[in-house]
Chains A and B, each alone.
Chain A
């Protein structure tokens, strides 16, 4: 961790996932894929990374007979994202 920046959010995709989850209670896999414009595999691996750190939780449910996977940010994840944003803003203020 350099200057309060969170390494986990160095990836554009992981940062994107958290951005979306900060303002949406939950979002399903396909909507997230379209928003971030990434492939299935790419998204899945970044989600696994965030889940491992307990920044997001996975919600599995059935819509009719189809399984649907959604995600939501955990309190830990929201806190981490906030801290990362604050660090980003501080860095920018220092430079200017």
Chain B
């Protein structure tokens, strides 16, 4: 029996090393929670601003007919500023917390594995970002929420090989939300808040408790 325990330990040691040497495991769960909260606050602000602009036009119905071009542009600018702020805050906290985490795991933040992770994240995200700009160019604003969720989900799913595998499930959920929001046009902000807000908070918290309380074997 003593032997069998040793063998089990050997096997789990092998698995740990294989994972640690090929994956960037230091993505911080807490940064997911912060990104989620930021996204929720952002979505709430965006909702307030949209309401404000709707109520300040002559009527609530047939927005596109009554809103003057100027007001639409002002609103779009405000939403753009909110979106960029969310992005900057999330990424800043993400990098800071991940730096702390990688120090703890003894993993280089800018090593082979993190580069692979970033590359696999950036290619689908960049394609999605450019696609969204094209949608805006064509005035198809109602497709922005589905497109961002879909491309983000695909990017996460793609990253499963290069970081903690659980990120795949988050990716699948984002993809499903993206497809749903393409069906229920007009509820874009709600789906967006669920996808980037609620899901990030839940996923980040789960990962934090799963991996942070357990010290990584050296």
Contacts and interface: CB of A to CB of B under 8 A. Distances in A.
Interface in A4-52: 12, 15-16, 19-20, 22-24, 27, 31, 34-37
Contacts of A19: 13-14, 17-18, 21
Contact of A15 (B13, B21, B106): B13
A89 B11 contact: yes
A92 B7 contact: yes
Nearest to B107: A34
A91 B13 contact: no
Contacts of A31: 21, 111
B11 A23 contact: no
Interface residues of B, number: 17
B218 A92 contact: no
Given A35-B21, A91-B4, A91-B7, A15 B14 contact: yes
B1 interface: yes
Most chain A beta-carbon contacts within 10 A, residue among B1, B8, B17: B17
Nearest to A18: B14
A16 B22 contact: no
B213 to A, nearest CB: 21
Interface residues on A, range: 20 to 34
A27 B14 contact: no
A88 interface: yes
Contacts of B22: 23-24
A92 B18 contact: no
Contacts of A95: 1, 3-4
Contacts of B3: 91, 95
B208 interface: no
B13 A12 contact: yes
A85 interface: yes
The 3 closest A-B pairs by CB, nearest first: A95-B4, A19-B17, A37-B218
Given A16-B13, A19-B17, A91-B3, 7 more contacts: A12-B13, A16-B14, A31-B21, A34-B106, A89-B11, A91-B7, A92-B4
18 contacts: A12-B13, A16-B13, A16-B17, A19-B14, A19-B18, A19-B21, A20-B17, A31-B111, A35-B17, A35-B21, A37-B218, A85-B11, A85-B14, A88-B11, A89-B11, A91-B4, A92-B8, A95-B3
Interface of A: 12, 15-16, 19-20, 22-24, 27, 31, 34-37, 85, 88-89, 91-92, 95-96
